[in-house]
Amino acid sequence: MKVLVTGGGGFLGEAIVDQLLARGDEVRSLARGDYPNLRAKGVEVMRGDLADAEVVSAAVEGCEEVYHVAARAGVWGPYEAYYQANVVGTENIIAACRAHNIPRLIFTSSPSVVYGDAPLEGVDESVPYPASYLTAYPETKAMAEKAVLAANSDALKTVSLRPHLIWGPGDNHLVPRIIDRARRGKLKRVGDGKALVDSVYVEDAARAHLLAAEALATHGKPAGKPYFITQDEPVAVGELIDKILVSGGLEPLKAQVPAGVAYAVGWAMETAYKALGKREEPLMTRFLAKQLSTAHYFDISAAREDFGYVPQRTIDEGMVELGAWIRKAGI
């Protein structure tokens, strides 16, 4: 098939691209930046903003399947920037899929769409969206997910996947940030570090997307539904961070800050940054403090039953590969 992957140069996006190429698909990528590494793989690279409907329409035209992976991520920033990228961009993707008779749209969401500030312990997809959010990213991703699921029809089958804390070789976000902050002495355990959290290895997260798309094309069971995607191996958040640090050749964390103090610091820093008009991300935010101190792990039985998703690696197996990549990349 000819397939469009938005954000094909990103961490998850490129993993999806590689798996599509491996099965013989012709792949086009749409992203704001230029990615010569994708061109070297034979990918058609298009540059543009998701908020530009004409650019999105041109990217979708001629394709048979769309993986909408691109998004503005992060825990800080102006609401409008998140809204344009995540909501308007997704609305443009949906409109273009309809205009060009695309039969399947696979959307990359996040478990953050159902996270307010309370723990999520072994919940499944029946858990409701919260009444409010602590930051713009989960709020706008929730709006985008709702639009994608509402767009499901016989003509355009849609599905929303919620991979949680994606990590692995090639990570340009989570792992480098953890290692950099630890090296600078800016990383502390929030609370006791015992809250259980889920994560997912990047190759498994990508494979889940292809499995969901295949199920849409055959029996259609995932159509119009969201799915949590994890390694199905909840671990204490402190343990997960320590595993990443050890993979990077660093010592496990010893410094600790009470969860309530971290939340108060996050609130104070957000207030100060807004007052000063700062655009860079604060060292701590309310959302980050909650994510690091409350449980959030999920029941993935629906993904297993509806499209056969089963993680192919354990966390420890993935950490071996991550460590090798960190050493090779010089992170």
Q: Which residues are identified as catalytic? A: 137
Count of beta carbons in the 10 Å neighbourhood of residue 203? 19
Give the list of residues 6+ apart from residue 83 with CB closer than 8 angstroms, or none.
Answer: 136, 140, 143
How far apart are alpha carbons 252 and 250 in whole angstroms? 7
| 3-state SS record for 174-243 | HHHHHHHHHHCCCCCEECCCCCEECCEEHHHHHHHHHHHHHHHHCCCCCCCEEEEECCCCCEEHHHHHHH
How far apart are alpha carbons 1 and 224 in whole angstroms? 22
Do the beta carbons of residue 53 and residue 92 sit within 8 Å? yes
The encoded tokens of residue 200 equal 């997912």
Helices and strands (DSSP H and E) totals, the chain: 13, 15
Task: Report the chain's C-alpha Rg in angstroms.
Answer: 19
